[in-house]
């Protein structure tokens, strides 16, 4: 007998289902895209158990007749292709695989009623077994209910994450689709709780609503046309960044995508204005003729191939850079905390390193600030006095001479070498090591806030932080959930001084997004501490007195790993006599 055999239709459908709907978020995406293609102006998404137990999508689109319901659950049956050339695809869906794939792996029920029909019809599919269409009651539009996702393919189900993580992925999908269709009202419920609800609105209103108040306050418009292509949307000022690229929404012909060409272009456009390791916040919409791109690359339809990738990349880089160029010449309006939230006011010098041996708290040292002089050609008396200090051989980083650009410390070592120190990078490492040492000793000291701070965050970020609240408390950060979409911060690590809680929590939430429930927090402890240290360190642009600069150099000499910051950048450069002579061509 032949060892080769044809698989049954049911098995084929279950195998295909794994490609199209690898998790609840993928099923959510397919169903919402179907609703958008049906002309819906209102879409409601409800998930229970992260979408594993139950997923429901209801829309007010054109609906389906009894005959169309019977066809929609068959593989490769679609109403969205007018021909079979696959060249000018103008709809979000077109493969005819989503509903059959879901029906093959779960319990699927579709109720639909065309506008003008006197009743609705319903069809059910369980593990690939299709029931007959039957009349029922229902509002105009379509309601799709998916239960027990992957019950028919247990091998796939056991690889799903816990419900909270699956819900976060689904929420991210719905938010991206809501950004792609601002003229459509969206409502998302997780386990009976409304996560967000947005009416039909203008694009800028939808972008501002979904990116958050901090980002919305510094949005810069992008709007350019070139060679039949058009890019529009909004980018955030470099002053506001994220720890991961999760806040980047890229939409091509109304389709949210995760395209490497576009992501790289955004990264290049921001390369000169944000710190390495940080990621921009953007919502960009690219429109081009359908025959200029291929969306039939992968069943998930999030990957594209551009006919002229170089032209697309050039358009994105150029337009974003020009938008940033307009913004950088202006004062960026930073959102001021509302007194009703009870957030602490940021002090003039928002940093202190826990003594001993160094404290950079305000007033800890006499000022004597050479930075005011900014190294003029003829130094004032104060500068001559500091230059006369004799560096000690016991101090490899030497004696501080000046501060340049309110960011870099110039020092002279005992052997005459020139020492340059990046004050923020250096102090970030000192703060990092201080928190790490306290953590290892089990004695991380927390500083209660005089007034607890309330920070508004997306529900997914709130869930991640609350789920790790006990672990974060061991790092000196005490927080709790404060209603839907908010965190109450009661205390922060004392070593951080008094940073603004909101940026700190956003970065920690981004970092925790890379850590699932099965991962021990200690596996990413250094990365999380690094995020905290960054927010509690001397900022570039802060003027330092001579005593403060000297104290910073002395602690650097006593701190392990002080040659680099928490993100791997150098903190200090040392130029010997030979190095300087070579630079001037004397050797």
Going by C-alpha positions, the residue among 418, 462, 570 that lies closest to residue 167 is: 462
Q: Which residues of 105-131 are buried (b: 16+ CB within 10 A; e: fewer)?
A: bbbbbbbbbbeeeeebbbbbbbbbeee
Could you tell me the pTM of the whole model?
0.64
In angstroms, the CA 348 to CA 367 distance is 14
In angstroms, the CA 327 to CA 221 distance is 10
Superfamily of domain 353-587: MutL, C-terminal domain, regulatory subdomain (3.30.1370.100)
Hey, which CATH number is domain 9-201, 3.30.565.10, 3.20.20.370, 1.10.600.10, 3.40.50.720?
Answer: 3.30.565.10
Q: Which tokens go with 238? A: 């470099």
- Count the Cβ atoms, other than its own, within 10 Å of residue 214: 19
Say what the pLDDT of residue 18 is: 58
In angstroms, the CA 255 to CA 408 distance is 45
Is 408:400 a contact under the CB 8 Å cutoff?
A: no
- 3-class DSSP assignment, residue 258: coil
Query: Residue 346 CA to chain centroid, in angstroms?
Result: 25
The DSSP code for 45 is: E
In angstroms, the CA 389 to CA 457 distance is 50
> Residue 402's beta-bridge partner residues?
410
Q: Which tokens go with 341? A: 């939230």
In angstroms, the CA 115 to CA 289 distance is 32
For the four alpha carbons of 253, 258, 264 and 266, in that order, the dihedral sign comes to positive
Domain ranges for the chain: 9-201, 204-328, 353-587
Say what the pLDDT of residue 353 is: 31
Going by C-alpha positions, the residue among 42, 48, 63 that lies closest to residue 122 is: 63
Say what the pLDDT of residue 89 is: 63
Q: Which residues contact 180 (CB under 8 A, 6 or more apart)?
A: 249, 251, 254, 255, 256, 285
Q: Which tokens go with 92? A: 């979000």
The DSSP code for 85 is: S
- Count the Cβ atoms, other than its own, within 10 Å of residue 213: 12
Say what the pLDDT of residue 1 is: 63
- Is the preceding peptide bond at 316 cis, omega within 30 degrees of 0? no
Average pLDDT, consecutive stretches of 10 residues, N- to C-terminus, the chain (587 residues): 71 65 91 93 96 96 93 74 55 71 92 94 93 94 95 84 91 95 96 92 91 80 92 88 89 90 91 80 92 70 79 93 63 32 29 34 35 31 43 81 88 88 87 80 81 87 87 86 87 78 83 62 63 70 84 86 75 86 84
Say what the pLDDT of residue 318 is: 92
In angstroms, the CA 151 to CA 155 distance is 9
Name all contacts of 491-494 with Cβ < 8 Å and 24+ positions apart: 491/446, 491/447, 491/448, 491/449, 492/446, 492/447, 492/449, 493/435, 493/444, 493/445, 493/446, 493/447, 493/532, 493/536, 494/354, 494/445, 494/446, 494/447
Spell out the CATH class of 204-328.
alpha beta
Say what the pLDDT of residue 349 is: 28
Instruction: Report H helices in 140-183.
Output: 154-157, 163-180
Say what the pLDDT of residue 459 is: 84
In angstroms, the CA 343 to CA 14 distance is 52
Say what the pLDDT of residue 15 is: 64
Strands (E), 168-247: 185-190, 193-198, 219-226, 229-236
Going by C-alpha positions, the residue among 82, 50, 40 that lies closest to residue 177 is: 40
Q: Which tokens go with 473? A: 């408390």
**Residue reference for tokens 């229902």:** 138
Q: Which tokens go with 477? A: 């950060």
What string of H, E and C letters represents the secondary structure of 274-289? CCCCCECCEEEEEECC
Q: Which residues contact 572 (CB under 8 A, 6 or more apart)?
A: 397, 419, 420, 421, 422, 426, 556, 562, 563
Say what the pLDDT of residue 3 is: 74
- Beta strands 248-252; 282-287: pairing state: parallel
* Length of the chain in terms of residues written: 587
Q: Which helix (H) or strand (E) holds 42?
A: strand 42-48
């Amino acid at each position: 007998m032949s060892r080769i055999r044809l698989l049954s239709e049911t098995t084929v459908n279950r195998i295909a289902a794994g490609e199209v709907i690898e998790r609840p978020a993928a099923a959510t995406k397919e169903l919402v895209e179907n609703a958008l293609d049906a002309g819906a102006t209102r879409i409601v998404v409800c998930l229970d158990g992260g979408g594993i137990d139950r997923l429901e999508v209801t829309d007010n689109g054109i609906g389906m007749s009894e005959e169309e319901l019977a066809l929609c659950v068959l593989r490769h049956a679609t109403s969205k292709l007018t021909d079979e050339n696959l060249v000018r695809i103008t709809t979000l869906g077109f493969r005819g695989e989503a509903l059959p794939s879901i029906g093959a792996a779960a319990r699927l029920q579709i109720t639909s009623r065309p506008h003008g029909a006197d009743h609705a019809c319903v069809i059910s599919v369980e593990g690939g077994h299709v029931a007959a269409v039957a009349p029922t009651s229902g509002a105009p539009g379509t309601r799709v209910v998916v239960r027990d996702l992957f019950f028919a393919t247990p091998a796939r189900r056991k690889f799903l994450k816990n419900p909270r993580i699956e819900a976060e992925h689904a929420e991210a999908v719905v938010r991206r689709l809501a950004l792609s269709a601002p003229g459509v009202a969206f409502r998302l419920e997780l386990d009976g709780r409304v996560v967000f609800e947005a009416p039909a609105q203008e694009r800028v209103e939808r972008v501002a609503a979904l990116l958050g108040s901090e980002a919305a306050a510094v949005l810069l418009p992008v709007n350019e046309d070139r060679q039949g292509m058009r890019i529009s949307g909004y980018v955030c000022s470099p002053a506001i960044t994220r720890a991961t690229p999760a806040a980047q929404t890229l939409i091509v012909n109304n389709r949210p995508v995760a395209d490497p060409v576009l992501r790289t272009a955004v990264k290049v456009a921001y390369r000169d204005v944000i710190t390495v390791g940080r990621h921009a916040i953007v919502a960009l919409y690219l429109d081009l003729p359908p025959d200029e791109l291929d969306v039939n690359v992968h069943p998930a339809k999030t990957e594209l191939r551009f006919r002229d990738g170089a032209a697309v990349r050039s358009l994105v880089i150029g337009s974003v850079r020009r938008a940033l160029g307009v913004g950088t010449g202006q004062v960026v309006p930073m959102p001021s905390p509302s007194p009703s939230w009870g957030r602490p006011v940021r002090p003039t010098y928002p940093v202190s390193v826990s003594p001993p041996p160094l404290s950079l708290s305000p007033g800890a040292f006499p000022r004597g600030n050479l930075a005011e002089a900014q190294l003029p050609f003829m130094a004032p008396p104060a500068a001559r006095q500091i230059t006369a200090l004799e560096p000690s051989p016991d101090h490899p980083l030497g004696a501080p001479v000046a501060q340049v650009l309110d960011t870099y410390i110039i020092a002279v070592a005992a052997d005459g070498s020139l020492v340059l120190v990046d004050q923020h990078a250096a102090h970030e490492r000192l703060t990092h090591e201080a928190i790490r040492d306290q953590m290892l000793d089990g004695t991380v000291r927390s500083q209660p806030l005089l007034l607890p701070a309330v920070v508004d965050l997306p529900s997914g970020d709130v869930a991640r932080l609350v789920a790790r609240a006990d672990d974060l408390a061991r790092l000196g950060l005490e927080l709790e959930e404060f209603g839907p979409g908010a965190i109450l911060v009661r205390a922060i690590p004392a070593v951080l001084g008094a940073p603004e809680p909101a940026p700190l929590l956003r970065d920690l939430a981004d970092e925790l997004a890379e850590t699932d429930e099965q991962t021990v927090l200690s596996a990413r402890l250094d990365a999380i501490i690094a995020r905290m240290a960054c927010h509690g360190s001397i900022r570039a642009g802060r003027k330092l007195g001579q005593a403060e600069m000297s104290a910073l150099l002395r602690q650097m000499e006593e701190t392990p790993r002080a040659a680099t910051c928490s993100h791997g950048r150098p903190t200090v450069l040392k130029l010997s006599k030979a190095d300087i002579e070579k630079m001037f061509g004397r050797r």
